[in-house]
Structure 1
Amino acid sequence: MKNLLKKSLFISAFLFLNTMMQAQTVTGKVSDANGPLPGVNVVVQNTKNGTTTDFDGKFMLNNLPENAVLSFSYVGYVTQDVAVNNQSALNVILAPNNEVLQEVVVVGFGSSKKKDITGSVAIIGSKEFDGRANTGIGNALEGKVAGVQITKPSGQPQAGYTIRVRGTSTITAGAEPLYILDGIPTTSINEISPSDIESMTVLKDASSAAIYGANGSNGVILITTKRGGNQKTKVTLDAYTSSSTVSKKLDVLDATQYRALMTEMGQTIDWSNYPFNNNWQDKVLRTALTSNYAIGVSGGNEKTNYYLSGTYLDQEGVVMTNKVERYTFKLNLDHRVSNSIKVGSSIGYSKWKDVDVNESGKFGVILNSITGAPVTDVFEADGTFSINPFIADLESPVALILKNEHAYENYKFNGNVYAEISFLEYLKFKSLFGFEQLNSTYNSWVDPFTSREGRGFSGMASLYNNQNTLWNFENTLSFSKSFNNHNFNALVGYIASESENSSANIGARGFGSAAVQTVNAGSTRTAGYNEAKGRNEAIIGRLNYSYEDKYLLTANFRADAYSGFGEKNRWGYFPSFSGGWRISKEDFFSNVEVVSDLKIRAGWGEVGNGQVGPFSHFGLVSPGAPYVDGGTVVPGSNPTTLESTNLKWETTKQTNIGIDLSLLNNRITLTSDYYIKKTDEMLLKKRIPASTGFTTALLNVGAMENNGFEFTVNSKNMVDELKWNTDFNISFNKSKITSLPGGSIQLGQLNNDGRGLVAIAQEGQPLGTFYGFVSEGVDPATGFIKYKDIDESGDLSDGDKTIIGNANPKFSWGMANDFKYKNWSLNIFFQGTQGNDIFNATRIETEGMYNANNQLTSVLDRWTTPGQITDMPRSDFAGEQNVKVSSRYVEDGSYVRLKSLTLGYTLPSDLVSKLSISNVRFYFTAENIITWTNYSGLDPEVSVYGRSGDDSLKNIAPGIDYGTYPQTRDIIFGLNLSF
């Protein structure tokens, strides 16, 4: 019995030790020649067991099988397989892959290795914005890409961004780039969660964008969302909260100073009825709070991969009641049916609600918070909104917000399904079907009692619904084959798409009470409905060729057809060609050790712009006055637009020359491009003889040109325990209208006070040109503004108007510095522009002294007596002499902005691993911290027409500040968690 017990114990001990030896634990550290490497993928071969290295390059894997082999992989490095061989600790050093630049870049209808790209392409990976507080794509891209100018025209949370790639190339058509989300065009990007993005690729020149043909003239931004991989399930949580304030308020007159100014202008009133002393900026503006939570789950096995995410954003604006609330969901699935068949899908759903405010212009809340009379309060004694003592129809700034209760509610569903079939080893067929639907509803209510406007119409209510539907069906066949040192890649395809828009609105007036606020309760109702549909077809082709990875050629071709053009010109044809020479691969260059890679690129291409309505070539008829026919009154109609059967695409031809250079084992990379971009046959409304029965017709006339230079440098300045990386980019762009029928187009009306228009599109000048009188200061004798008599007529007339400013910067730039030391990280990002003007129309209202609005304290230096020398004119109630559009209100809009500073700390891995957590990081971010500028307004990054639905206004009249909602200064605390 004792012998049996001993044998049993011996066998048990042996089995236990054998199990321990087979299911061992391995720890280790992964480095390169410069130090630890965080984020390296460590996977046990032929299993799902894997992990990634932490900030210090350390990793730990449990339950390893006998004879386990670990695979270490990292972008830009040679993958290394290491046999464990019963070792408990491993130190692995990865070698950089200097033989080729293996980074895979998403390009139109496929992907390419970075080394093979011959066009001007910029790539922004998720590492550029992961772990930071980004509310949208524009925020993540801003200042990061040379040649891409991104401005936020308004500080409203839901405002979005204005994005221009290599300047504006059209006058009246759309100038936004084409956005492609996971292979499918999308109409809106504001609701896409940055947490879902894997990478963004910007196609800047025509040689790379020509594959998108008639939609590529404004550049293309390809957005790729995250997907799962052959790995164990990974869960990430990103959360942040922030507080926001305006970085600046303007100094305005107090009640005593206001009374004195009004008395000087002859406005008499019993001031005892107005005892208040309010600064309306303090009443309207607030500290706004934001919360954002994003959770992602990803993983998979050898056959099926998945990525699932959800994001919630609750963001207040700094103007009272202004806010947006957004929910976003994303599901990406990929499944390999067999070695040759792969299927997948990408599905997204977004819902967001926002409470908007009328922000800009003479009747906008921002300008009125500055000009509101300080002697009034929010409400009168009877509960109605107070009004200006001297302007009977002007209520308080708070009334402008509260009297109009309105909200937008939006739903967006988009997705795609695809199937890939590989055959004959070098052929692949892919079919992709995408769908997007955007539904927007707007509700508005004006109380019939509290506001003057509401009382005038006995209350007002409105309901507006807009629905956009888009489907896209693509079928492509690709070929990839190498013959010795000859590498060929080719693609052909057919695309069909259709878009449909419908909108309905109903409004009502005449409400007996405020109890029922729906349109059916109004006594007078109006309604309207519109519908439009457009269809596109395209045939595409691409050929890539390289020899010995040294000589590179690319050709693209696309034929586009659009139902919005007449049959004669329905099809447009868009070719491109580009080539590259990797000089560093030549034998004569092999001894130049300092150069890791050197490539020269050149390309030419033609792209189009057809962003016009689907009925643009038709002669349209609208309802007109009724008439009598045989004693019967019948509805009338009349033609409103002239038929344009020859209408066709705008075309942009672009030439690009570039160089890519890597030095010191890729520690320094430089990219430089020069381009010439010419647009012909622009879509413009041209004046035509009145004998036709019309005043204008949409025709292909006019031309313009952009040319510029871009430079980007990325450097790893320090690579030891303290790491320091710098990314810097700078862009120069010049534009000029080279042909314009009629010579000029003027836009940018400020208000109805007879001041004229601010902006002009004119031959020989760029878009964004300001036009008006030249101010020569204040006349000491009269106190009025003097203007230059350009036409020497002796009178002030339109002949004295001239070019007074240019809203385009001479250059724009961005610079980010990343520092890492042990578990600490610091990112500092600067951004700026130089040489751009701003037309500060806000000063017309706040220094014009022509009505009963409050003014800035700068008017305390106004002219009061003959002979006085000052640059501030006299007060002139109801006068126009001092408030004309002139150079007086043109200011230097150049600025340098400390855009963001982020300080992060990652908890040690040995601490968080005890909690089964792989990473915990806390961070603090401050945004829009300091702005160095000579501009006197609230914010130099402005454009009152930036949110306009009129493309002509946005293109011709940028850089005008007319009470624009300013950007905010944000203090953010965040958490990144993964397990």
Structure 2
Amino acid sequence: MTKKYTYSIFILLCCLLLSSIASAQQINYVKGKVIDKKDRQPIIGASVTIVDKDRRVMKGVSTDIDGNYSLPVNDKTYRIMVSYIGYKSTAPLAIDKAVINFQLESADNQMEEVQIVSRAKTDNGSGMSIDKRDQTSAVGTINAKELEDMQAASIDQALQGRLAGLDIAASSGDPGAPMQIRIRGTSSINGAVDPLIVVDGMPYDITIPSDFNFATSDENNYGQLLNIAPSDIKDISVLKDAAATAVWGSRAANGVLVINTKRGVLGPPSISYNFKGSYSKQPSAIPMLTGNQYSSLILEEFYNAGRQFATSDFAKQFQYDRNDPYNYYNYSNNTNWLESITRIGYLQDHNLSISGGGEKAKYRASVNYFNQNGTTVGTSLGRLSARVNLDYTVSTKIRFSADIAYTHIDNKNLYPSGSRDANVRDVAYTKMPNQAVYEYDEYGNITSNYFSPATTAQGGFVYDFANSRVLGTYNPLAMALAASNQQLGERIIPKFSLQYQIIPDKLRLNANFQADINNTKVKKFLPQVATGRPFSEAVVNYAGDSDGDSFTMATNITLAYTPTLGKNHDLITFARFDSNDSRRTGQGMFATNTASSFLADPSIDGRTNQTGSAYSSFSQSRSVGLLVSAQYKFMDRYIVNGGVRGDGNSKFGPNNRYGLFPSASVLWRISGEPFMKNTTKYIDNLALRASYGVVGNAPRNDYSYFNTYQNYGFSYLGSSGVYPSNIELSDLRWEKVTQSNVGLTVVLLKNSLNMDIDVYRKRTTDLFYNGIAIPTYNGYSGVDMNVGTMDNQGWEFSLFYTPVKSKKLRIDVNFNISHNENMIREISPLVPRENNARITTNNAFKVYLQENNPFGSFYGFKFKGVYVDKNSTIALDENGNQIVGPNGQQIFMRFAYPSIDYVFQPGDAMYEDINHDGNIDYKDIVYLGNGNPNLTGGFGTAITFNGNLRLGANFTYRTGYQIINGTKINTTSMYGFNNQSTAVLRRWRAEGDITDIPRATYATGYNFLGSDRYVEDGSYLRLRSITLKYDFSKNLLRRIGVRGLSANIMMENILTFTKYTGQDPEVPVKLSTFSTVVDNSTTPPIKTITLGLTANF
């Protein structure tokens, strides 16, 4: 019996032992502690993850305040790994015990190495990154991390002055205003001049067809890159020469801006939140006259013109008669109209992202909310965007990616806002300052009603229906607050990619498919209160509603073959097919005199005098391309790259629908030669590059090849007719851009000093010109033609230098400079050579398309000062002798004899008599300048202390271009009832006065002819940004339980050094045949202070 119990107990103990052994072999839970290897302190918030054999994350947890963790384990094949920002991640470890502790090592050195590697790659957008040292063409690259602290609505704002050859200028300081981007100058007269934008290997359409109507809105009113949140961008490359842009064909004739967005990385889920809040204000405005000074000026104008002001219909507005209380209270003010429409702007920018993944699948998802209230009343921008990037490795041969991006834009602009309109800020500068903003009653009590009389001494509101533009004057604040001009945008872009290793490491297939669905709505409303016009007029309660939809499908298939040829030979062959199909539809309705100022829908019936119209449009285009290229490298010293691109485009007729465009480039690595072996201690890379290539450019009009017809706006006997609107153009040819480039790359001192020097020449032949006039008896008004040749040539230099690099201190310096010369070399005699400006009228500059002159050149008179007295108006010949008439009479200087024959008087503006004939006319017109900058670039520095405190500053500059100061013209003319700047306080008043400001004369004389008096040098140097950033210590992070935390403060556009007398010298060229750089009082770039906070979990 005893033995029986003994055996039973023995068997039970064996079972318990076996059970314990089994449980020891399959751990159900693992726990431990994570500490810093150096200071032995616990790490709070470290990510501890369980991964499978493919490194897919199965479970994860963050360490607690004491660095402890605990995780369940369901499979004996699982591994455990730990990661944390600022530390080296551990390799996956087998879970062979219940307690596993980790000691993490600082990753400071590793972080520096990663930064070096990231700068060593360039991307042309094809998905094939090439070592920068092997790049044979002109490509500039910047990591978006260098821009992440800047506060910008779009990435092009942050890129100003950061890359050589990339000239970016703001069109306005209002929210949502676009940046004008030029790569190596302007290469077309009125064809496409914007660079191609490529996002994650696919074209990103930003162009608007010339025949497409977005509620008659100016295309410059809609920012190009607003749909891409800067926080989603990883890096940016600029492809500048033809060899680099060849992969993108005809759409890349003006260069390429390649943007790569952030993607998921191996590791546990990582959550990042970033907030930026900004306070902004405008730079100081031009000082204007007060109401009292203005009233005195008007009286003087009438007196000098020999007119009786007291008999004027509007004399009551300047008499300040208390017996007329209504006019007295409403016209006895000192209103600063510009101040009334200016406010403090603010901005908030929230970004939330999550990323992570294992060996098989990686992901990144982000959402961005951006809201900005502009410094001009009535302007704002709201953006909500989301992006999801997914990567999945099916096997060692197949990789699949799926991306989707969505953006909603709500952009509120001023009405009116077009370049041809009397815009709100322009009116605010010149609005009579004695007029009240809000109406006073007859008892002197101010009311809540805007004071918007139908007409004043200055005139009234005028709407030009024929040209859809606003003229005249109005109450600027009423217009800014009551009128609306809203643009709503919805854009969704799904993209799918497949990468197949047909022969691993040798033959690879990349296939991309993308759909781009874009909707833009424009809503405009002009209520009666903004115009002051009577309700019976057609212009009252003008409402417009339009809708534009575009759908684009783009595909590209790339086959890359990299055979193994031996130790000293490397070959990459490349074949690529692209296709792009685009459809656009638009419809809109416009109506006037709606029933109420609160009814902004144009479909609502009006009261009286209602007018209206509706339109619809459709356009479609298709392009295809095939590229075959190869790059061969021998002994890591000699590299040759060559290719041929064939492009086809539906915008051409069958005779010229397809074009063939070759490109070639070479590189000689001088530093690899045997005679340089003793310099390897100092020279890391010294390479000479050369490239040549041709790229085609297609016209903007989708239907140049077709005979097209339009409905006539009127009917006859109940039927409406049609008329021909476009003549068939069978022989329109490709606009060709031929570019040659020679460059030198220098890398010294263990990659601490990087320099690139490039010299280029870019020639555009067969320039497009839209609408050359032809005789109207054939039923057409104009045709599109190839008309000439334009050159751009110049040089670029860029430098990145790290003179100090240690754990305690790091200093980085960057500098770039670019020079470009634009010149028209040949132009067809069929092209109109000059604009329609009449030199016999004030405020008119001639613009010529002239061979051997830059595009955008303008001409006018030479201003010499002011006639001091009567004797100074005597006409003199070239020897300084008096000119006498046929009867011996004394001749005084005249203007436009004999058609006008105005005799200059003391106090009038004096213009140089070039031919000394005593008559100022077209023979005295001379070249005054052009708007193409001679030098552009930027420089900056970043100083990092102890690895966690960073001070950075960046400057931008543009030099050698001329601006027509339109604001100065309007505020110093003293010709009518417009308010003037305080500069006119030094005007000529009596004989003997020596001054540069002519006399005041009402509607008389020629004191503000187009002359160099209003042409100013626009050169400037701007402190673009200065940033102070602090990364909080690891000890603090442990206590608060986050993986990373940083804060920064940044100031933008704080200082500008310039001789320009306008509010700001950053004025871009408007794209048209006779464009000039004119400052028309748009909102200048704003000064901003931004606070930022970034947290990682």
Normalising by the residue count of structure 2, what TM-score does the alignment of the two structures yield? 0.80
Offset at residue 130 of structure 1 (A): 2.1
For the 8 Å contact 2:56–2:361, the answer to whether it is kept is no
Partner of 1:769: 857
| Letter aligned with residue 433 of structure 1 | F
| Correspondence for 1:669 | 754
**Superposition map of 1:177-216 within 5 A:** 177-188=195-206, 189-216=225-252
Q: Superposed, which structure 2 residues align to 1:76-155 within 5 Å?
A: 88=103, 90=105, 103-111=120-128, 112-155=130-173
- Paired letter, 1:427: L
Q: 8 Å contact 1:657–1:675 — kept in the other structure?
A: yes
Q: 2:253 aligns with which of 217, 221, 224?
A: 217
Distance 1:69 1:545, change over 3 A: farther
Asked if the contact 2:279–2:1089 (Cα under 8 Å) also holds between the matched residues in 1, the reply is yes
Give a deviation string over 1:869-908, Cα, whole Å, max 9, x none. Answer: 1100011211350122111100111111111111111110
Whichever residue aligns with residue 661 of structure 1, its letter is V
Query: SS state of the match for residue 675, structure 2?
Result: helix
Rounded to whole Å, the distance in 1 between the matches of 2:937 and 2:49 is 38
Equivalence for 1:168: 186
Residue 33 of structure 1 corresponds to which residue in structure 2? none
Q: RMSD across aligned C-alpha pairs, in angstroms?
A: 3.7
One of 712, 715, 719 as aligned partner of 2:805: 719
- What amino acid is the match of 1:130? E
Match of 1:885 among 995, 1010, 1013: 1010
Aligned to 2:618: 531
Q: Counterparts of 1:450 and 1:96 in 2: how far apart (Å)?
A: 61
Contact 1:305–1:334, Cα closer than 8 Å, also in 2: yes
**2: CA distance between counterparts of 1:49 and 1:413?**
30
Three-state SS of the structure 1 residue aligned to 2:528 is coil
Match of 2:485 among 401, 406, 418: 406
- 2:149 aligned counterpart, secondary structure: coil
Contact 1:438 1:467 in 2 (8 A): yes
Map Cα deviations across residues 948-979 of structure 1 (whole Å, 9 max, x no partner). Answer: xxx425xx524210112211000111101112
Distance in structure 1 (CA, Å) of the matches to 2:93 and 2:238 = 41
Q: How far off is 1:604 after superposition?
A: 0.3
Structure 1: runs of 5+ lacking an equivalent: 31-38, 51-59
Q: Deviations over 1:780-831 (max 9, x none)?
A: 2321112233355543333332211122222112011001112211110111
| Residue of structure 2 in register with 1:556 after alignment | 643
Corresponding position of 2:588: 505
Within the alignment, does 1:370 sit opposite 2:429 as a pair?
Answer: yes
Q: Aligned pair count?
A: 944
| Range with bigger deviation, 381-390 or 250-259 | 381-390
Q: Tell me which structure has the larger Cα radius of gyration.
A: 2
Amino acid at match of 1:420: Q
| Alignment partner of 1:417 is 2:496 | yes
1:479 maps to a residue whose letter is: Y
Q: C-alpha displacement at 1:398, in angstroms?
A: 1.2
- Is the CA contact (8 Å cut-off) linking 1:27 and 1:90 kept in structure 2? yes
One-letter amino acid of the structure 2 residue matched with residue 443 of structure 1: K
Does the CA-based 8 Å contact 1:27-1:61 persist in structure 2? no
CA distance in 1, matches of 2:84, 2:507: 28
1:237 aligns with 2:273: yes
After alignment, is 892-901 or 445-454 more displaced? 445-454
Residue among 435, 447, 451 paired with 1:385? 451
Q: Which residue of 1 aligns with 2:288?
A: 252
| Structure 2 partner of 1:34 | none
Counterpart Cα distance in 2 of 1:793 and 1:212: 57
Residue 439 of structure 1 corresponds to 519
User: Structure 1 CA distance, aligned partners of 2:836 and 2:518?
Assistant: 30
Distance 2:459 2:359 in 1: 74
Structure 1 residue 736, shift from structure 2 partner: 0.3
Equivalent of 2:700, from 584, 587, 612? Answer: 612
Q: Which residue of 1 aligns with 2:218?
A: none
Distance in 1, Cα, partners of 2:233 & 2:663 = 29
Q: How many Å separate the matches in 2 of 1:125 and 1:62?
A: 36
1:478 is matched with: 560
In the alignment, what sits opposite 2:886? none
Q: Is the 8 A contact 1:361 1:750 kept in 2?
A: no
Q: How does 1:339-350 map to 2 (within 5 A)?
A: 339-350=396-407
For the 8 Å contact 1:840–1:962, the answer to whether it is kept is: yes
Structure 1 residue matching 2:177: 3-state secondary structure: coil
Tell me, in whole angstroms, the C-alpha distance in 2 between the residues paired with 1:439 and 1:66. Answer: 51
Q: CA deviation at 1:187?
A: 1.9
Moved more, 131-140 or 404-413: 131-140
Contact 1:600 1:658 in 2 (8 A): yes
1:806–1:428 distance in 2 versus 1, CA, 3 Å: same
Residue by residue, what CA displacement relative to the aligned partner does 1:467-524 show, whole Å, maximum 9, x if unpaired?
1221112222121222212111122122221111111111112333335332122333
Q: Cα gap change, 1:507/1:99 in structure 2, threshold over 3 Å: closer, same or farther?
A: closer
For the residue of structure 1 that corresponds to 2:250, the secondary structure is: helix
Return closer, same or farther for 1:238/1:515 CA change in 2, 3 Å cut-off.
closer
Matched-pair contact (CA < 8 Å) for 1:448–1:511 = no
Q: Hey, what does 1:952 align to over in structure 2?
A: 1072
Give, in whole Å, the separation in 1 of the partners of 2:995 and 2:834. Answer: 33
Give matches, 1:23-42, under 5 Å: 25=34, 27-28=36-37
Q: Aligned with 2:655: secondary structure?
A: helix
Point out the structure with the larger strand share: 1
Instruction: Give the C-alpha shift of residue 249 in structure 1.
Output: 1.1
Secondary structure at 1:669 match in 2: strand
In structure 2, relative to structure 1, the CA distance for the partners of 1:787 and 1:43 (3 Å cut) is farther
Structure 2 Cα separation of the partners of residues 288 and 776 of structure 1 = 42
Residue by residue, what CA displacement relative to the aligned partner does 1:632-673 show, whole Å, maximum 9, x if unpaired?
675443333332210121101000001111111111110110
Question: 1-side partners of 2:480 and 2:115: how far apart?
Answer: 60
Per-residue CA deviations over 1:27-79 (Å, capped at 9, x if unaligned) read: 3579xxxxxxxx9x9999975799xxxxxxxxx9989999999999999xx99
Of 242-251 and 105-114, deviating more is: 105-114
Deviation at 1:745, TM superposition (A): 3.9
Q: Which amino acid aligns with 1:431?
A: A
Cα 1:20–1:528 change in 2 (3 A) is closer
SS class of match (1:370): helix
Conserved? CA contact 1:831–1:899, under 8 Å: yes
Cα offset, 1:190, TM superposition: 2.0
* TM-score, normalising length: structure 1: 0.90
Cα offset for 1:589? 1.4
Change (3 A) 1:238 1:27: same
Cα gap change, 1:392/1:562 in structure 2, threshold over 3 Å: closer, same or farther? same
Specify the alignment match of 2:324 in structure 1.
Answer: none
Q: Partners in 1 of 2:707 and 2:68 — Cα distance? A: 72
Q: What is the DSSP-based 3-state SS (H/G/I as helix, E as strand, rest coil) of the residue aligned with 1:214?
A: helix
Which stretch of structure 1 is more off in the superposition, 795-804 or 719-728?
A: 795-804
Aligned to 1:489: 572
Separation in 2 of the partners of 1:149 and 1:712? 14
| Matched residue SS, 1:115 | helix
How much does 1:304 deviate? 0.7
CA distance in 2, matches of 1:351, 1:764: 46
Identity across matched positions, percent: 28
**What amino acid does structure 1 have at the position aligned with 2:382?**
E
Deviation at 1:624, TM superposition (A): 4.5
> Where does residue 1094 of structure 2 map in the other structure?
976
Note the residue ranges of structure 2 that are not aligned, 5 or more in a row: 1-8, 40-45, 59-66, 95-99, 207-224, 303-308, 321-327, 442-448, 461-472, 870-905
Which residue identity is paired with 1:170?
A: S
Q: Provide the secondary structure at the position in 2 that maps to 1:119.
A: coil
Alpha-carbon separation, structure 2, partners of 1:684 and 1:332: 42
Is 1:756 the counterpart of 2:844? The answer is yes
SS in 1 for 2:359: coil
Q: Which amino acid letter does the alignment assign opposite residue 346 of structure 2?
A: L
Q: Is the 8 A contact 1:361 1:963 kept in 2?
A: no
Which of 796-805 and 184-193 deviates more? 796-805
Asked if 2 retains the 8 angstrom alpha-carbon contact of 1:445 and 1:517, the reply is: yes
**Map 1:285-324 → 2, pairs under 5 A:** 285-324=342-381
Q: Is the 8 A contact 2:125 2:199 kept in 1?
A: no
Render the CA deviation track for 1:93-134: whole Å, top value 9, x for unaligned: 669699999833221422222222100001111221123323
Tell me, in whole angstroms, the C-alpha distance in 2 between the residues paired with 1:688 and 1:417: 48
Q: 1:99 to 1:128 in 2, by over 3 A?
A: closer
* C-alpha separation in 2, matches of 1:753 and 1:325: 43
